[in-house]
Amino acid sequence: MSIFFIKIVLILLKIAKNGIIYTRFMQKKAKNMKIRNIAIIAHVDHGKTTLVDNMLKQAGTFRENERVEDRVMDSGDIERERGITISAKPTSIQWGEYKINIVDTPGHADFGGEVERILSMVDGVVLLVDAAEGPLPQTKFVLGKALKLGLRPIVCINKVDRSDARPDEVLTETFDLFDKLGATDSQLDFPYLYSVGRDGWAVRNLSDEHKDLTPLFQLIVDHVPAPDCNGERCQIDAPFSMLATTLEADPYVGRILTGKVESGTVRVGQSVKAINMRGEFIENAKITKIIEHRGVEKISRDSASAGDIVVVAGFSKATVADTLCDPSVTTPIPAMPIDPPTLTMTFFVNTSPLAGKSGKKLTSRMIGERLFREAETNIALRVTQSANNESFEVSGRGELQLGILIETMRREGFELSVSRPRVVMQTGPNGKKLEPIEEVVIDVDDEFSGVVIEKMTKRKATITEMKASGAGKTRIVFSAPSRGLIGYLSEFRTDTRGTGIMNRVFDKYDEYRGPITQYRPGVLVSMENGSAATYALHNLEPRGTLFIGPQTEVYSGMIIGEHSKENDIEVNPVKGKQLTNVRSVTADEKLFLAPPRKMSLEEALSYIQDDELVEVTPATIRLRKKELDSGKRKKAYRYAESED
């Protein structure tokens, strides 16, 4: 009898244990049903970061009396100075019972790699479209990536308070873009809102009361699916696995990786491993920290379950696109392929006579370590070292992306020299040379459309669309080779008196369109070392435009100005006035110089020719000849002429 009673008790205990496990499973499932993972995507300056600001405020992230800066998600110094988002940043808000994980993404085409890699960890996107400008090239790029992953976007027609807003037309244009990109029937049936992100309101109909962002929050909860925790994408009861989508270096915890937990649960102290995209073992590790972005703060957690977007620490080798998982897992999570880079530059050690005067990081070893570290976190960059270990080929998406990398290194104390940007060519299956082609959308006043078409045609661009956009403006869409657009932006601004807007995005690789003739005047090259003198610069002004002012340190081979003719000339900017005892009325006449032409880093990179370099230091940006010795330059020029 006692044995039978013991068996009954054991069976009841087993049933109770299974019930507890099931209850915990259902609790986790219910918890995940209350999660929404979204990304905010749009073209540059269409209001993503400003909208996220107001979403954070209205979700109660900040106190009522708390002072909050604008564009709080743009935390980097360069992001704040330039007013652009450079890297994708996750955050989360609590709206009622729902936790909404939000990823703010860059809008500029050069940082499209940031958008591509984070789309794999969200279940929906909010597509912002400017109510006046309509869909632009980056809108097409990010939307195409989202549709390809099967995401069903929410469309938000933003900035409807603009004087030139045309929300109904823009909504129609957006629908046409969905159709053009091959959207499915369910994706074409997208919900939409009208909003003013700056003022913090959104409505389903323009006649509704302009109150707050509640319609947007409600639409996210209703339309975006919860993490699929019983399907293939997100399994609660399976072993832990997570795809690393971003990599950062934290001064306190070391290497940290961000991603969405695809299956199972991870806890602090848990033993895990990392495998690459081919399933090959990388390393074993122990989770030392789990961090969740909540508002603008980072909150430590003891565990994270399937569907959560978190940051984990404890790995020393794992990188972006690797799978972090339980030791029993052998199959990696598939990672979305990233479009290849289209532009390349060569980074050299600074060899000018003024090297080392303002920077502390000068050697090729330091430059190489920094570049390879950047390529590890930024998967849109490719870095290769030359055979002599003295230079590095850095390939990226565009001039802005590479320019920001150089600017960041400059602020970190590096000194280096950089070559003119070159496009990355490919070879087609039939052996023909292929070059990157971009889609260029230009909005310009009607009076300037002729000069723009003329200049773009000379750069081998072809018109694919041209239409009046109202208010005396014309929208022209070109298909243009990337190499023809290098250095054109400053010329475009001059031609349109600063009123034109140019947007561009990589389209495809196509057959080489032939040589492009680009005219740039010659330059004034210093023949002496020393400090520039007012007397010498005053005498040089009639020869062209100066890039330097008095008392600027110069050296032989440094470019100090633009010549008014097409040939380069060597000049002496340090020559002082000869002293004399003879007095005259005009001897001590005060000299006045025109302000020198100052170039930004991007302008300098697009200005130089193949035989020139940009010298970048923490204190200044200089232009120089690649070969500083005058005799060797002349010899190389004569040799090039004889070859022709």
- pLDDT, position 21: 38
More confident residue, 69 or 527: 527
Check pLDDT > 70 for residue 9: no
Q: Last residue of some domain: 269, 291, 325?
A: 325
Beta strands, E only, 377-461: 382-385, 391-396, 416-418, 422-423, 426-427, 433-445
Q: pLDDT by residue (tens digit) across 268-283?
A: 999 999 998 888 899 9
Sheet holding 154-158, edge to edge: 89-95, 98-104, 35-42, 124-130, 154-158, 192-196, 201-203
Which of 213, 258, 260 is closest to 233 using CA atoms?
Answer: 260
Q: What is the pLDDT of residues 556-600, one digit of tens each?
A: 999 999 998 888 899 999 988 877 776 666 655 678 888 999 988
Between CA 639 and CA 627 the distance in angstroms is 14
SS3 letters across 67-99: CCCCCCCCCCHHHHHHCCCCCCEEEEEEECCEE
Residue 227: partners with Cβ closer than 8 Å, 6 or more residues away: 32, 35, 37, 123, 233, 234, 260, 306, 307
Asked whether residue 454 is domain-assigned, the answer is yes
353 domain-assigned: no
Which CATH number characterizes residue 153's domain? 3.40.50.300
Q: Locate 603 and state its tokens.
A: 């302008």
Q: What are 324's strand-pairing partners?
A: 242, 274
- Number of domains observed in the structure of the chain: 4
**Nearest alpha carbon to residue 559 among 492, 613, 632:** 613
Instruction: Name the burial class of residue 238, with classes exposed (0-12), middle (13-18) and buried (19+) by CB atoms within 10 angstroms of its CB.
Output: middle
Judge if 485 and 607 occupy the same domain.
Answer: no
Of 32, 50, 28, 31, residue with least CA distance to 40: 50
Q: What share of the chain is helix, strand, coil (3-state, %, to 5)?
A: 30, 30, 40
Same domain, 169 and 255: no
* 447 DSSP 8-state letter: G
Q: Are residues 493 and 553 in the same domain?
A: no
Amino acid at residue number 287: I
CATH number at residue 260: 2.40.30.10
448 found inside a domain:
yes
Mean pLDDT within 360-376: 89
Which one, of 94, 142, 124, 127, lies nearest residue 223 by Cα?
124
**281: exposed, middle or buried (Cβ count in 10 Å: 0-12, 13-18, 19+):** exposed
- Quick count: other Cβ atoms within 10 Å of Cβ 600? 12
* Of 181-190, 220-229, 428-437, 459-468, the least confident: 220-229
pLDDT tens for each residue of 307-336: 888 999 988 888 888 899 999 888 888 877
Both structure tokens of 125? 């996107």
For residue range 101-117, what is the model confidence (pLDDT) as tens digits?
888 888 777 777 778 77
Number of alpha carbons in the 13 Å side-chain half-sphere of residue 38: 31
Of 453, 547, 558, 458, nearest to 496 by C-alpha is 453
Q: Check residue 19 and give its pLDDT.
A: 44
According to the model, what pLDDT value does residue 232 have?
Answer: 52
Q: What percent of the chain has pLDDT over 70?
A: 89
Which domain covers residue 461, as residue numbers?
426-511
Residue 50 lies in a domain: yes
CA atoms of 126 and 192, how far apart (whole Å): 9
* Same domain as 320, residue 189: no
Do 184 and 90 lie in one domain? The reply is yes
304-330 core/surface letters (b: 16 or more CB in 10 A; e: else): bbbbbbbbbbbbeebbbbbbbbbeebe
Residue 332 in any domain: the answer is no
pLDDT at 531: 92
Domain boundary among 325, 355, 390: 325
Per-residue confidence (pLDDT) for residue 172, from 0 to 100: 92
Q: Taking phi first (over 0 means left), then psi (-120 to 50 degrees means alpha), and beta for anything else, what does residue 278 get?
A: alpha
pTM: 0.82
Q: Rounded mean pLDDT of 50-78?
A: 69
Distance CA 366, CA 603 (A): 26
Whether residue 285 is contained in a domain is answered as yes
Same domain assignment for residues 71 and 191: yes
Assess whether 565 and 630 both reside in one domain.
yes
Does position 534 have pLDDT exceeding 80, yes or no? yes
Residue 145: pLDDT over 50: yes
In a domain, 517, yes or no: no
- 477 shares a domain with 550: no
Please state, in angstroms and as integers, the Cα–Cα distance from residue 112 to each residue in 144, 342, 394, 492, 509, following that order. 12, 12, 17, 24, 17
Q: DSSP letters of 133-150? A: T-S-HHHHHHHHHHHHTT
* pLDDT (tens digit per residue) in 593-624: 889 999 888 888 888 888 899 999 998 999 99
* pLDDT over 90 at 156, yes or no: yes
* Maximum CA extent, the chain: 133
Rounded Cα–Cα distance for residues 615 and 627 (Å) = 13
> Does residue 60 share a domain with residue 99?
yes
Last residue within a domain, chosen from 304, 325, 346: 325
Q: What angle do CA 517, 523, 529 make, to 5 degrees?
A: 150
Q: Helical H runs in 361-499?
A: 364-377, 399-411, 449-458, 482-485, 488-495
Please give the average per-residue pLDDT across 293-316, as a whole number.
Answer: 86
Cα 28 to chain centroid, rounded:
36
Q: Are 485 and 440 in contact (CB under 8 A)?
A: yes
Helix (H, G, I), strand (E, B) or coil at 224: coil
Mean of the pLDDT values across residues 46-65?
A: 76
- E strand or H helix at 168: helix 167-180
Average pLDDT score, the chain: 83
Both 571 and 549 in one domain: the answer is: yes
CATH number of the domain at 498, please: 3.30.70.240
Co-location of 528 and 504 in the same domain = no
Q: Is 594 a member of any domain?
A: yes
Regarding whether 631 and 540 lie in a shared domain, the answer is yes
The span from the first CA to the last CA of the chain, in angstroms, equals 108
Residues 560 and 548 sit within 8 Å (Cβ to Cβ): yes
Q: What's the CATH number where 562 sits?
A: 2.40.50.250
